[in-house]
Structure 1
Amino acid sequence: MTPSQIGELLAFCAAFDRRTVGRADVLAWHTVLGAVDFDAAREAVAAHYAVETRWIMPADIMTTVRAARRDRLERHTEAEPPPGDTGDRAYRAALLAERRAIADGRAEPRPVPALPPGTKDDQPAGRVRALLDTVGNKIPGPREGAVNVLAVPCRVCHAQPGRTCTSTVNPLRRHADVHPARLEDARRAAAGLPPVDPADVQRELDRRLEASRAALAAIPHDNVIEPADGFRYPAHEEPAAS
């Protein structure tokens, strides 16, 4: 833009925001926007005041103009080089001129040409055809009997779903397999059952421990011998003499 065009652009801005325009404003704006096309800058001002009430600044115009140029270039498909072209300067110059015309808005972007209609002979076959036939179909559910162990958290090492189990001693060390309790929880989840309650597990352990103590207490005291190592054997389980 020339300084006179900058002055016209500032007058256009003043029509929206009632700013005062002086010679220093024209010189400052020309320093920043001298290389910008006048029509593109005017469109940027109009677009700004369509949605904003604050004063527009040169940076706003530069941002809008650059975005518009980038959008036009992204929607453009460059022409193929002519047959026999060796990449000489003439073609490169024409290609650069085409890009500038698209970016400046002096030419419309050329979209990607549509693919020609295919024929029956063009259709893929074999495994590719089978894969394409599944597009859009419902994703199959889990196989009968299959259990996704990583779908549930581990109540032993507290590994979250999708993460492998870790050592309870060193959490940074990951196991190649999961803890049996996690496998049991995954099987119950696959069967539609709630996870095992840790309190129930503890109660079952306490019950078994109490039953073992009761069974030991029922053994007659005179039927127990005490070997030299201090371990108490029931008489019918006395180790054979060596």
Structure 2
Amino acid sequence: MDRREIAALLAYIGRLDPRTIRTDQGEARDQLATWHELLGDVPLTTPHGWDARAAARKHIRVSPYQVLPADISRPWESYRRDRLGRHTDPTPTVDPDNQAAWTAELASARRAVATGSAQPAQYRAITSRRADPDLEARLREDGSCIPPQARAALAPYRPIRAAREAAVAQGQPDALGVRCEWCQAQVDEPCRRRRIAPDGGARGTAPRPTPHPGRLDLAAARQAQEAEQVQQPAMA
């Protein structure tokens, strides 16, 4: 705020709290100089929500003490911190090899957000909006969000998952859909090969490319049970 804005703020505060009014010309001049020294970097208003008069009015409404410059600067600092906390630096438009220009643009964007001249830039959140009909049709056709070509290209890098998907596609039981009672592998986790030390303790475990036979038996029994449950209502 410049001296003219400080004078306008003091006049506004004086109308709400006459105790702050200085009738002596020398005292009024000193008060104006002090407030300008302490609040020179605080704007009177910004386009996005800050108003020093609102901060003063709130203090007068809830506090029995006279308004001091700190009662204006503290809310302003909170306003700045809140905006910077909600701000995510957008990618600068300048050449990234030009570090000086890159840093200057980031600093300029942050300064604009902190001073209330621009709104904080935030990442877009995932919403529950209905999916694109074309995308839904493609998902029904492919059966997965991963296209078959991409799945085939990824198969060599995830052999356990590829073997599981191939078994399910052929109608075989999903062994990773049940817990392994031998190695205690949880659902969706591969079986582990335990290495036993000479003292009988486990030295380490490594993923098995195939599940344990007992886990396959459990998956087959579960698949048969589910098929039986589906057939019973149909027969009824």
TM-score bin, normalised by smaller chain: 0.3 to 0.5
Question: TM-score, with normalisation over the residues of structure 1?
Answer: 0.46
Which of 1 and 2 has higher RCO (CA within 8 Å, sep 6+)? 2
Question: Which is higher, the Rg of structure 1 or of structure 2?
Answer: 1
Question: TM-score, with normalisation over the residues of structure 2?
Answer: 0.47
